[in-house]
């Protein structure tokens, strides 16, 4: 997938008479392997979208990204939806998603970050966004809540949602539960990108990872090694393995790369890979040239299609792994011809599968 086009220069923030004003760093989560247990936690689904803090002061509405940048110009339909709410003053934290073809599309979100206002307006009309709200930082009376424990903030948020948000509206309350069993079900459910666990007694730790953790499901795929790139310093060995999957017509398409190897492994891979250089490599879509974001040469070495590797990945979108993959193990027991595109398409990412709407049933 190509990187999004450069965004327009950020506009200045509006002057807001609120206890919190942008840019305010959102609370962040530490990545862990397992969902924590016990009665000290609240669990929430992790959405595949853009983090967003929403500020409202009268007619002034600001949407702030996780990186502290204005988002309002890219999601005008959400700005309008916030203005339609009855309360005139508040600050809430949530996630922007775009439902598309019965699922959530992260690619559609990336397309919004575009310098042309006319294009943004067209996309907003064609694929309107949605905001899932999961925290309240300033209530409708203008009281700052960031020093309050999560269970107090959640009570205020649920009261706000019951009075002002429609279950099927453009701005929705994100589900929460105290049940680890429900959280485990979320972890493997379509439409979820994982689980967030928050400490019930924790205040809103702006910019820190002390009050909540995130757990993401493990996705794996068996891929053919169709080629490799040398490290920037060739003496360091192999820089990355180029991964391929076969389509129904038997063409091997380049779908991503893997570079999560130790310095020792990168050197030790040279001899085995050198011995199978000169093969057909990719017979379908092949790796492109050098990236405009990197100084590295885009040249790559095609290989005979003999090696199979199992990798872990986050998302598969538009025929590619969205990010670099994690090396798990070599698969000498697997024939390259068995590495087909169907294995990732049948286990689609959270941005590509039907969204399960749990409604209020999952909220204790």
With beta carbons less than 8 A apart as the criterion, state whether 277 and 270 touch: no
Closest CA to 98 of 81, 90, 110, 84: 110
With beta carbons less than 8 A apart as the criterion, state whether 225 and 304 touch: no
Helix, strand counts (H, E) of the chain: 8, 19
Closest CA to 296 of 252, 254, 257, 243: 257
Distance of CA 282 to the CA centre of its chain: 28
88 catalytically annotated: no
With beta carbons less than 8 A apart as the criterion, state whether 247 and 227 touch: no
Longest dimension (CA), the chain: 71
For 299, how many CA atoms within 13 A lie in the half-sphere containing its CB?
Answer: 6
Give me the catalytic one of 15, 46, 266, 285: 46
**Which positions are catalytic?**
46
């Amino acid at each position: 997938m190509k990187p999004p086009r450069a965004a327009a220069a950020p506009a200045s923030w509006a002057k807001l008479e609120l206890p919190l004003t942008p840019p305010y760093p959102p609370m962040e989560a530490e990545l862990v392997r397992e969902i924590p247990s016990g009665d000290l936690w609240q669990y929430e689904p992790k959405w595949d979208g853009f983090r967003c803090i929403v500020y409202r002061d009268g007619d002034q509405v600001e949407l702030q990204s996780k990186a502290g940048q204005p988002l309002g110009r890219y999601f005008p339909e959400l700005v309008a939806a916030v203005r339609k709410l009855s309360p005139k003053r508040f600050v809430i934290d949530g996630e922007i998603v775009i439902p598309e073809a019965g699922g959530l599309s992260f690619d559609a979100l990336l397309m919004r970050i575009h310098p042309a206002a006319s294009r943004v307006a067209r996309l907003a009309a064609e694929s309107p966004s949605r905001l899932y709200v999961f925290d309240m930082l300033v209530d409708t009376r203008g009281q700052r809540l960031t020093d309050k424990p999560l269970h107090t903030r959640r009570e205020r948020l649920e009261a706000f949602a019951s009075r002002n948000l429609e279950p099927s509206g453009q701005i929705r309350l994100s589900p929460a539960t105290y049940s680890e069993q429900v959280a485990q079900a979320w972890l493997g459910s379509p439409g979820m990108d994982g689980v967030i666990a928050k400490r019930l007694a924790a205040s809103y730790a702006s910019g820190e990872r002390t009050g909540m953790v995130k757990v993401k499901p493990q996705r794996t795929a068996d891929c053919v090694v169709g080629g490799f790139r040398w490290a920037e310093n060739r003496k360091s060995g192999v820089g990355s393995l180029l991964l391929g999957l076969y389509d129904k017509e038997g063409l091997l398409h380049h779908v991503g790369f893997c570079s999560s190897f130790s310095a020792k492994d990168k050197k030790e891979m040279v001899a085995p890979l050198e011995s199978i250089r000169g093969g057909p490599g990719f017979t379908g879509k092949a790796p492109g040239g050098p990236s405009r974001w990197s100084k590295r040469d885009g040249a790559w070495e095609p290989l005979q299609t003999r090696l199979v590797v199992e990798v872990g990945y986050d998302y598969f979108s538009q025929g590619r792994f969205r990010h670099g993959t994690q090396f798990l193990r070599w698969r000498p027991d697997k024939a390259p011809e068995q590495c087909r595109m169907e294995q990732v398409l049948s286990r689609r990412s959270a941005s590509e599968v039907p969204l399960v709407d749990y409604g209020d049933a999952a909220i204790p």
